[in-house]
Amino acid sequence: GASIELENLTKRYPGNAEPSVDDVTMEIRAGETVVLVGPSGCGKSTTLKMINRLIEPSGGRIRIGGEDVTGIDPVRLRRKIGYAIQSSGLFPHMTVAQNIALVPRMTGWPKARIRDRVAEMLDLVGLDPGEFRHRYPRQLSGGQQQRVGVARALAADPPVLLMDEPFGAVDPVTRVHLQDELLRLQRELHRTIVFVTHDFDEAIKLGDRIAVLRECSRIAQFDTPETILTS
């Protein structure tokens, strides 16, 4: 994994009275899972999108592995960061396999390796490759689409994973399985993970540290689950 440093990060959307992210400073260590937990509309997604350079900060800095992201070539950033979102973000005109293969293909992996990896990722998220690889997103349930979104985020084995309520529509049994897979990625492969949820139990289960947003746009508490549970 790589460290992620946010320094005085601020986002003001044009026309909004209040900033959506207000002067947030935090350091996420390499190999650490940090969960952002709090009510909706409090700037969690906006924070992930800034780390990903999908939107520009109004102020402050972001460094990944010590490198200012504004200086990183977007294609390189895509290889470095796996991104899974609530709405899955699958391309509707591409099959499940093509969606999952997106970043490996961009990275120039050989065809045979991509094919194997697609099957491996589908197995990991509990979807039978034979049944699902040639389907289009519209032929999947919401939960299945999310699982493919997670498979796509993990496909190129990126050092950094940004996950924005990635299991919201997934059935409870599969959700526990995917949470356990994330814990494994973190413990065995030391991926750096920033995970957004409004589910406090999920935050406690997954986070090495948890950033709690109580009032919007600012982090009220940033600590280990043990400390947060006893405070």
Contact between 194 and ligand ADP (CB under 6 A)?
A: no
Whichever of 176 and 216 has its CB closer to ligand ADP, that residue is: 216
Whichever of 81 and 169 has its CB closer to ligand ADP, that residue is: 81
Residues comprising the chain, all counted: 231
Closest CA to 104 of 132, 137, 79: 79
Contact between 132 and ligand ADP (CB under 6 A)?
A: no
CB of 20: closest distance to ligand ADP in angstroms?
3
Whichever of 46 and 192 has its CB closer to ligand ADP, that residue is: 46
Cα→Cα distances 73→22, 68, 107, 162, 185, Å:
26, 11, 13, 18, 26
Contact between 168 and ligand ADP (CB under 6 A)?
A: no
Which of 81, 163, 178, 193 binds ligand ADP (CB under 6 A)? It is 81
CB of 28: closest distance to ligand ADP in angstroms?
16
Q: Contact 22/220 with Cβ under 8 angstroms? A: no
Contact between 41 and ligand ADP (CB under 6 A)?
A: yes
Which of 13, 68, 123, 184 binds ligand ADP (CB under 6 A)? It is 13
Binding range to ligand ADP, per CB under 6 A, among 13-21, 134-142, 179-187, 201-209: 13-21
Cα→Cα distances 189→71, 179, 186, Å:
27, 15, 6
Whichever of 75 and 128 has its CB closer to ligand ADP, that residue is: 75
Which of 4, 6, 9, 103 binds ligand ADP (CB under 6 A)? It is 103
> What are 160's two structure tokens?
């950094």
Closest CA to 184 of 156, 214, 154: 154
Which of 24, 34, 46, 167 binds ligand ADP (CB under 6 A)? It is 46
Binding range to ligand ADP, per CB under 6 A, among 27-35, 64-72, 78-86, 199-207: 78-86
CB of 185: closest distance to ligand ADP in angstroms?
16
Size of the site for ligand ADP (CB under 6 A): 17
Please report, as ranges, the residues that interact with ligand ADP according to CB under 6 A: 13, 16, 20, 40-46, 52, 54, 78, 81, 83, 89, 103
